Structures are given as C-alpha cells and as structure tokens.
Amino acid sequence: CVIDLPKGAEHPENMKFAGQLDLAKIAPYDKSNLLPKSGQLLFFVDDKDNGKVIYADVENTDLIRIFREHEDNFYLGVLIDKISAETETIEERYFTEKDEEFEEDMLNENGKMWNDFAGTEKSKMFGIYTHCQQGEEYILEFMKSNRVVLLQIGGNGFNDEGVFNVLIDKEDLKNRNFNNCIFEWAQS
C-alpha cells in the first residue's frame, strides 16, 4: 500500500492501512459541514474491531510517502477517482414486490420487508448506517443517535467481502476528536 503520512506520524503497529482522504477535495461535497475543510484523515484497522483515525491539518506537500505491504482486506490499493454528493433514503433499504427475495410473510407492521444487504456495496462518508448483521430496528435506532458514519468501505472493489464502518459521535467530530471512533466489520 502507498500511504502519505504527515511528518512525525507513524504507521500504527499491527494495523493495516484502510484509507486516506484529502479533506480539501471532499469539502465541496460535505453539505453537512461536519468535516474539517482541509487536511488528511487516515484510517487504520487490525483484524478485529480495533482501529485508529489520524487527522492532520497539513498541506499535501508536507506528507511523506511510505510503502507497507499486507494481504487480506484493503490490499488492493483502490484509488478513489470520483467523488459525488448523493442522498440516501431509508426506502432504499426495503425490498420491493419486484425483487426476487420479496416474501409476503416477512413484511413488517408497515407492510415492508427489510433488506439486510442493501447499501453494502457502497463506500461513503455519512449516509445511512449499513450493517448486514443488524436488523431494521437497530439501524433505525442508530439514525436517531448522535453518531454518524465517518467512513464506510463497501464491497465495491475495496474489500474481499463485507462492509467496514468507522463511526463517530457528532460532538467528537465537531471537536476534531478522533480517539473515540468505533470500528466495525459486518460480514454475512
């Protein structure tokens, strides 16, 4: 993997590089104004649910390129070459009668059938929380909480399988405190 670390920062021991975001390039798409407008966010994770987020408000010219080889998830080194702002709706998380998986006997009290795997292919910041091992009720409760999806890496070329999430409390994000992030793998 190619990693551009801020001067003085070190690759966390026993962790894999998961991603790096240039916030100046993302800022025009951050309609919520929750992210810093400049700097770098770097994400590292181990083989469990432990990780580290490094935020450094530095110019790209002040980054030092290092190379770290590893196998398993994130080894492909996918380059994000297109950023867009999209709006997700909770309706996208339900099957429709046209879907092969739709079963009348699985409808909830609102006459809808939850799709545990909807959204798992997306890589994103913010949006609707995705976890294929948690059901509709859990996801809807999360949406009412003060936590947000800081980063979701989906199965669209980044991982071998599953979804990787980094969650953060909005107050921590506002205060640029990335020490309390929650790291989750969701695999079926």
- Over residues 21-48, mean pLDDT: 91
Given this model, what pLDDT does residue 19 score? 86
Query: How much is the mean pLDDT over the chain?
Result: 86
What is the three-class DSSP state of 51?
strand
**Residue 170 DSSP SS3:** helix
Instruction: Give every strand in the sheet of 40-45, ordered side by side.
Output: 16-22, 40-45, 51-56
Higher pLDDT, 179 or 85: 179
Cα 151 to Cα 16: distance, rounded to the nearest angstrom:
16
pLDDT tens-digit series, residues 120-158? 888 889 999 999 889 899 999 999 999 999 999 887 655
Residue 106's φ and ψ, nearest 5 degrees, are: -105, 15
**Amino acid letter, 97:** E
pTM of the model: 0.87
